[in-house]
Amino acid sequence: MIRDGKIWVGNTEAGEPVYMLPKMANRHGLVAGATGTGKTITLKVLAESFSDMGVPVFLADVKGDIAGMINAGTDSEDMQKRIAKFGLNDYGFNFHNYPVTLWDVYGKNGIQVRTTITEIGPLLLSRILDLNEMQSDILAIVFKIADDNNLALIDTKDLKSMLNYVSENNKEFAAEYGKLSPQSLGAIQRAVVSLEIAGGDQFFGEPALDIRDWLTVGEQGRGMIHILDSQNLVSNGTLYSSFLLWMLSELFEIMPEVGDLDKPKMVFFFDEAHLLFKDMPKALLDKIEQVVKLIRSKGVGVYFITQNPRDIPNGVLAQLGNKVQHALHAYTPTEQKALKAAADSYRENPAFDTAEVIETLGTGEAVTSFLQEDGTPTMVEKVSVLPPQSRMGGVDEATRNNAIMGSMLYSKYANAVDPESAYELLQRIGAEKAEAAQKAKEEAEVAKAAAKEQAAKEKAAEREKEKEANRKKRAAKSVGTTVAGTVGREVGKTVGKKFGGKFGQTLGGNTGAQLFRGILNTLLK
Ligand SMILES: Nc1ncnc2c1ncn2[C@@H]1O[C@H](COP(=O)(O)OP(=O)(O)OP(=O)(O)O)[C@@H](O)[C@H]1O
Ligand SMILES: [Mg+2]
């Protein structure tokens, strides 16, 4: 509840109000305590106050008991006692519902939440796929190749074709991106298939959640309360925490730097926070620490809810300025150590021993410390937390369905679309390649046939030429014979006639003396 412009969390035993300052609400917080001690109710009380101030809120609903905020709280004898004890009627307490939008990554208990493979990023995806360090490095390179080649990774189909494409062209990519182990690529492929078999493919697709849709106010200027149904999701701890971390990093990315404001722009509650950090790789942990540190100046407050503060790594814990510690039981030495550590993280109150009080707190009671305007924590106080104005328990199916269908955002996210992305583009590239190969093959065949035909033609021409030459040769031979015969004969005849005649005459008509004279005459001429 808002009292004097501040978030009224509860009263001390002396009846003094205990406040959290809206101005310091971006300094993050912690709600811890054993099971059944009042954590969920406390976060409802806080969420209601933020909403009353017009600040949108995100909550993960792990047990289904947060969705009740969609209904007004119910009156009872016990409630009336509490209302009287806190004097709530003087401050406008009334049972009413809050503007709630229900979300669900499975699309059953809320509007479907989807994201794209690109948006979830290689770091979180590696965690979802349970990849080892080497495999996550390779996945990061596959993301880079996709990005460099304008291949959008929307869904698991895209990721699988991208992995295939990289495997098939491993040699070509090696020059620029280094050699990618085929075994690791195969292992990532198998992990994606396993995720699909487990139904994980429905988380990735379009339309992806636009976190800007969360930054809205509902009826009476109350900040919208976005509740992610996590009853199924939480059974896969890494998936649950990866989705929440993705949402946080999305918020981080879209929110502009604003510095310190009078009240936060949005508040993010992380229930079952121990799942978040369980077996978390160092790279991711570093990233979260950094996001938590920097998101503050973007006006976003992050509140972790868990059983024991030691579930939160020190680097994150140290940044949580607003703290509510419900009862902790300490039976074993380890539990006692944890209790002592929890108590020691508070600024001491000389009036009591913090550890002793934490151990003996009743349901709905807590020790608290909130940041003051100067940034220092208030002294630890024992506080009775206010009751919420909305319903404490869960919600029935009809109310849930009405809320889902009645939301203005339902139609935006209800139906998945399959845009042109890596899968389609790579299919097209593959088809074009095959077509080009086929065309080249056909062209080569045509060229081969043409060359064969040409060769045959040339051979035929050659043969023809040869034939012709032979023919000519033969013809020439026969002319030679004829000419030689004829000429020879003619010449022979003429010469024969001439000389033969003369000789014949000379020889025939004269004697030896005449022959001698004849020769002499010839010589003397
Ligand atoms: N501030 C409160 N005012 C009224 N009743 C409360 C308050 N806090 C807790 N309760 C009562 O205690 C019950 C258990 O509280 P709650 O569900 O918040 O515990 P929890 O710490 O979230 O438990 P778990 O770890 O199992 O989720 C509530 O259903 C409610 O009846
Ligand atoms: Mg709870």
Q: What is the pLDDT of residue 448?
A: 93
pLDDT score recorded for residue 248: 92
Distance (Å, rounded) from C-alpha 74 to C-alpha 27? 33
Q: Which of 41, 43, 44 to mutate to test the pocket of ligand 1 (most atoms within 8 A of CB)?
A: 41
* Whole-angstrom distance, CA of residue 403 vs CA of residue 377: 40
Contact predicate 225/99, CB 8 Å: yes
Which ligand has its closest atom nearest to the C-alpha of 61? 2
Report pLDDT for 479.
58
Per domain, the residue ranges of the chain are: 2-114+207-413, 118-197, 430-524
Return the pLDDT at 238: 87
Looking at residue 478, its pLDDT comes to 66
Measured from the Cα of 393, ligand 1's closest atom is 29
Burial class (CB in 10 A: 0-12, 13-18, 19+), 50: buried
Residue nearest to atom 31 of ligand 1 (CA): 392
Q: How far is the CA of 404 from the centre of ligand 1 (A)?
A: 26
**Which residue's CA is the closest to the ligand 1 atom numbered 23?**
36
Which pLDDT belongs to residue 276?
A: 85
Ligand 2 centroid – CA 32 distance (Å)? 10
CA atoms within 13 A on the CB side of 383: 27
Q: How far is Cα 196 from Cα 204, in angstroms, rounded to an integer?
A: 10
Q: Which amino acid is at 483?
A: V
Q: Which ligand does the CA of 44 lie closest to?
A: 1
Q: How wide is the angle at C-alpha 69 spanned by C-alphas 51 and 61, nearest 5°?
A: 100
In Å, the largest CA–CA distance within the chain is 189
Cα of 440 from ligand 2 centre, angstroms:
67
Per-residue pLDDT at 149: 94
Round to whole Å and give the CA distance between 93 and 81: 13
Q: Do 156 and 421 form a contact (C-beta atoms < 8 A)?
A: no
Distances (CA, A) of 418 to 77, 208, 442: 54, 11, 35
Single out the residue of 265, 298, 311 nearest to residue 22, CA to CA. Answer: 265
Ligand 1 centroid to Cα of residue 365, in Å, is 10
Tens-binned pLDDT, residue by residue, of the chain (525 aa) = 999 999 999 999 999 999 999 999 999 999 999 999 999 999 999 999 999 999 999 999 999 999 999 999 999 999 999 999 999 999 999 999 999 999 999 999 999 999 999 999 999 999 999 999 999 999 999 999 999 999 999 999 999 999 999 999 999 999 999 999 999 999 999 999 999 998 888 899 999 999 999 999 988 899 999 999 999 988 888 888 899 999 999 999 999 999 889 999 999 998 888 888 888 888 889 989 999 999 999 999 999 999 999 999 999 999 999 999 999 999 999 999 999 999 999 999 999 999 999 999 999 999 999 999 999 999 999 999 999 999 999 999 999 999 999 999 999 999 988 888 888 888 888 888 888 888 989 999 999 999 999 999 999 999 999 998 888 888 877 655 554 555 445 544 544 454 444 444 444 444 555 655 565 566 555
Give the predicted TM-score (pTM) of the model.
0.82
Give the Cα separation of 312 and 273 in Å (integer): 7
pLDDT given at position 428: 86
- Predicted local confidence at residue 475, as pLDDT: 81
CA of 103 relative to ligand 2 center, distance in Å: 18
Determine which residue's CA is closest to atom 6 belonging to ligand 1. Answer: 364
The whole-number pLDDT of residue 491 equals: 47
CA dihedral 451, 456, 462, 466 (to 10 degrees): 170
Distance CA 382, CA 324 (A): 10
The three-point CA angle 14-15-17 to 5° equals: 120
Q: Does domain 2-114+207-413 have CATH number 1.20.150.20?
A: no
- Ligand 1 environment, Cβ below 6 A: 33, 35-41, 63, 363-364, 385, 387, 392
Residues near ion ligand 2 (Cβ under 5 Å): 39-40
Ligand nearest to the CA of 324: 1
Helix, coil or strand: residue 149: coil
Residue 165 CA to residue 191 CA, distance in Å, equals 17
